[in-house]
């Protein structure tokens, strides 16, 4: 049997035997896996339950915190709203109290006004009653007076045996006598007031008398004479083909007159500063006898610079000569410019100093303010220093200048009134008028002739200078000719011809003048080079 069985077993395939042998192991493994899976799932379940409980506890704690924070915020909001409400309530209470206070004040004011009005009404009523009572008393007294007058008239007629007409005549005579006495008293009072103001009126009367007695004379000059060492110098001044004299006239802006008069030449020009520059330049060149165009310009520029310095010195000397102090430095410089300004042939700076001295002497004799009179006398023609630069009379220009530098009001008024443009209101102003007439001695009919002449010549030059390309222009020959120097790089020869015509037309349309004016346009090309 065993043999058979062994044979049968050996006849079964090997994989079947292997399979049969591992089935129990597989079953055991499956059972073990199932047990392990159940334990794992049970553990996960326990973990999930514990996590759920933890999350639930955390959510509950968080919900408590949120509820607590919400309660805190709600309480804070309630507290804020309560504070705002209390603040607004307090402000409204204060405002209501203010309104109530104002209302009480108004009520008090109204009550006071009512009480005052009541008192005034009572007073007015008492006054009315008093007036009515007085009117009754006055009427009663008038009636009594009428009765008394009738009784007195009858008694007077009975005693004096006069009629009413005779009595009236007697009363009129008495009234006339009383009026004469009153008039005599009034005359005495007027005489007393006249004696009190006598000094002031006497000063005005004496000053006016001196003003009427001032003698008027005049003289004018627009020329300067230069003495020559010999007659041969005239040829050097003229130069070859007139080259030197043309250069002198164009550079210096004056007209040089060379005639048969021995050993002198004459300079003609309306601008005294130009004449002075020209005179000093020519005198400087006469020392060595060398006349050359380039040297003329060099010496003229040097002389102009020297004159600017001398103007300041002239102003300082004028102030010191007049014995004045505290004058602004700009006014002193303007005074110095008057050194080369003439009026009717008289040097304006010397004239101003002379007027200052005369005004001081007159003021001393009349008991006026000597310092004010001298100061106004020195500055009265200050406008002539710049009258060619501004529109208006030299009086108005001078007034504007001294106002700018805050001069005394009396000085300003004296300057404004020294030609009668305004009525003088002070003794010092009249004194300056008199001193100016004595020093200047100008006739009233020709008072403005030289100023008008100078203005016309300056207008001629300004019109010529207004054209493009013009370098310099000079009015010469007493205004009968204007010499215009143009820039050669800007004006050609053909344009110079047209420029002369244009300037002539403009002078005809904008300027009034006697006779005719010659327009002389000069175009000169210079080429300079240096040999080294």
**Segment 339-393, tens digit of pLDDT:** 877 766 577 888 888 889 888 888 888 888 889 999 999 998 888 887 767 778 8
Residue 220, pLDDT > 50, answer no
- How many CB atoms are closer than 10 A to CB 321? 15
Lowest mean pLDDT among 80-84, 135-139, 171-175, 263-267: 171-175
Confidence of residue 486 (pLDDT cuts 50, 70, 90): very high
pLDDT at 219: 38
Mean pLDDT across 496-523:
85
Across the chain, what does the average pLDDT equal?
78
Confidence of residue 215 (pLDDT cuts 50, 70, 90): very low
For the cut 90, the answer to whether the pLDDT of residue 197 exceeds it is no
Angle between helices 164-196 and 198-213 (to 10 degrees): 70
Tell me what pLDDT residue 443 has.
38
Structure confidence at residue 362 (pLDDT): 85
**For the chain, what is the radius of gyration of the CA atoms?**
61
Helices (H) then strands (E): counts for the chain: 16, 8
pLDDT at residue 331 is higher than 90? no
The answer to whether the beta carbons of residues 248 and 269 sit under 8 Å apart is: no
Is residue 478 within 8 A of residue 268, CB to CB? The reply is: yes
> What integer pLDDT is reported at residue 445 of this predicted model?
30
Please give the helix or strand (H or E) that residue 473 lies within, else none. Answer: strand 470-476
Question: What was the pLDDT predicted at 213?
Answer: 38
- 218 pLDDT higher than 50: no
Mean pLDDT of 258-282: 81
Q: Residue 201, SS3?
A: helix
What does the pLDDT average to over 257-261? 80
Task: Map residue 221 onto helix, strand or coil.
Answer: coil
| DSSP, res 383 | G
Task: Between 102 and 152, name the one with better pLDDT.
Answer: 102
Lowest mean pLDDT across 11-20, 389-398, 506-515: 11-20
How far is the CA of 404 from the CAs of 324, 328, 331, in angstroms? 19, 10, 10
- pLDDT at 484 exceeding the cut of 90: yes
| Identity of the highest mean pLDDT range in 173-187, 216-230, 287-301 | 287-301
pLDDT above 70: residue 241: yes
Q: pLDDT tens digits, residue range 391-441?
A: 788 888 989 999 988 888 999 999 999 888 888 888 899 999 888 877 765
- Residues 290-323 have pLDDT tens digits of 777 778 888 888 888 888 788 888 888 888 888 8
Q: Mean pLDDT throughout 475-503?
A: 86
The domain 453-532 belongs to what CATH superfamily?
A: ANL, C-terminal domain (3.30.300.30)
> Which of 351, 328, 341, 331 is closest to 458 using CA atoms?
341
* pLDDT confidence band for 130 (50 / 70 / 90): confident
Q: Which of 44-53, 66-75, 217-226, 495-504 has the lowest mean pLDDT?
A: 217-226
Q: For the domain made up of 220-322, give the CATH fold.
A: Ribosomal Protein S8; Chain: A, domain 1 (3.30.1370)
The percent of residues in the chain predicted with pLDDT above 90, rounded, is: 6
Q: How far apart are CA 519 and CA 395, in angstroms?
A: 33
Please choose, from the candidates 323, 383, 311, 313, the residue with its C-alpha nearest in 3D space to the C-alpha of residue 356.
323
Sign of CA dihedral 404, 407, 408, 410: negative
CB 311 within 8 A of CB 277: no
**pTM above threshold 0.85:** no
Q: 330-447: what fold?
A: Hypothetical protein af1432 (1.10.3210)
Q: What is the pLDDT of residue 231?
A: 78
> Is the pLDDT reported for residue 196 higher than 60?
yes
Q: What is the pLDDT of residues 335-351, one digit of tens each?
A: 888 887 776 657 788 88
Give me the pLDDT at residue 465, please: 92
Q: What is the pLDDT of residue 521?
A: 92
> What integer pLDDT is reported at residue 483 of this predicted model?
92
> Position of tokens 């049970």?
42
pLDDT of residue 182: 66
User: What are the CB-based long-range contacts (under 8 Å, 24+) for 251-254?
Assistant: 251/293, 251/296, 251/297, 251/300, 252/277, 252/278, 252/281, 252/296, 252/300, 253/278, 253/472, 253/474, 253/476, 253/483, 254/278, 254/474, 254/476
């Amino acid at each position: 049997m065993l043999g058979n069985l062994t044979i049968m077993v050996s006849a079964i395939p090997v994989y079947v035997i292997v399979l049969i042998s591992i089935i129990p192991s597989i079953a055991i493994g499956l059972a073990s896996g199932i047990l392990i899976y159940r334990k794992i799932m049970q553990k996960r379940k326990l973990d999930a339950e514990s996590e759920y409980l933890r999350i639930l506890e955390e959510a509950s704690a968080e919900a408590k915190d949120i509820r607590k924070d919400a309660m805190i915020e709600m309480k804070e909001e309630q507290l804020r709203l309560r504070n705002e409400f209390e603040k607004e309530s307090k402000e409204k209470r204060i405002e209501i109290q203010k309104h109530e206070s104002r209302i009480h004040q108004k009520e008090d004011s109204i009550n006071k006004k009512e009480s005052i009005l009541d008192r005034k009404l009572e007073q007015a009523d008492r006054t009315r009653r008093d007036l009515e009572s007085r009117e009754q008393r006055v009427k009663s007294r008038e009636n009594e007076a009428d009765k008394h007058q009738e009784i007195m008239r009858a008694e007077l007629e009975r005693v004096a045996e006069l009629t009413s007409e005779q009595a009236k005549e007697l009363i009129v005579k008495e009234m006339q006598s009383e009026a004469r006495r009153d008039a005599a008293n009034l005359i005495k009072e007027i005489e007393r007031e006249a004696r009190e103001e006598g000094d002031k009126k006497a000063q005005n009367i004496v000053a006016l008398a001196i003003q009427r007695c001032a003698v008027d004379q005049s003289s004018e000059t627009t020329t300067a004479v230069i003495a020559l060492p010999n007659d041969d110098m005239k040829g050097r001044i003229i130069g070859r083909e007139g080259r030197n004299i043309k250069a002198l006239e164009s550079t210096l802006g004056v007209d040089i007159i060379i005639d048969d008069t021995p050993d002198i030449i004459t300079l003609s020009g309306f601008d005294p500063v130009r004449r002075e520059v020209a005179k000093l330049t020519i005198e400087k060149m006469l020392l060595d006898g060398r006349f050359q165009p380039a040297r003329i310009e060099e010496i003229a520029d040097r002389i102009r610079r020297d004159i600017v310095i001398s103007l300041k010195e002239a102003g300082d000397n004028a102030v010191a000569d007049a014995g004045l102090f505290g004058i602004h430095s700009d006014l002193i410089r303007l005074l110095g410019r008057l050194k080369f300004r003439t009026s009717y042939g008289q040097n304006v700076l010397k004239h101003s100093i002379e007027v200052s001295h005369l005004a001081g002497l007159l003021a001393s004799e009349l008991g006026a303010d000597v310092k004010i009179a001298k100061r106004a006398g020195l500055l009265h023609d200050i406008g002539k220093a710049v009258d060619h630069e501004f529109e208006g009379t030299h009086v108005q220009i001078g007034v504007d200048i001294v106002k700018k530098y805050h001069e005394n009001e009396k000085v300003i008024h004296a300057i404004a009134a020294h030609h009668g443009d305004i009525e003088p209101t002070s003794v010092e102003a009249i004194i300056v008028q008199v001193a100016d007439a004595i020093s200047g001695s100008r006739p009233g009919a020709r008072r403005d002739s030289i100023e008008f002449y100078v203005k016309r010549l300056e207008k001629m030059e300004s019109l010529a200078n207004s054209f493009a390309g013009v370098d310099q222009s000079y009015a010469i020959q007493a205004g009968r000719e204007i010499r215009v120097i143009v820039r050669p790089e800007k004006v050609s020869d053909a344009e110079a011809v047209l420029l002369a015509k244009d300037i002539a037309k403009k002078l005809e349309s904008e300027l009034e003048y006697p006779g005719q004016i010659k327009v002389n346009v000069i175009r000169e090309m210079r080429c300079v080079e240096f040999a080294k």
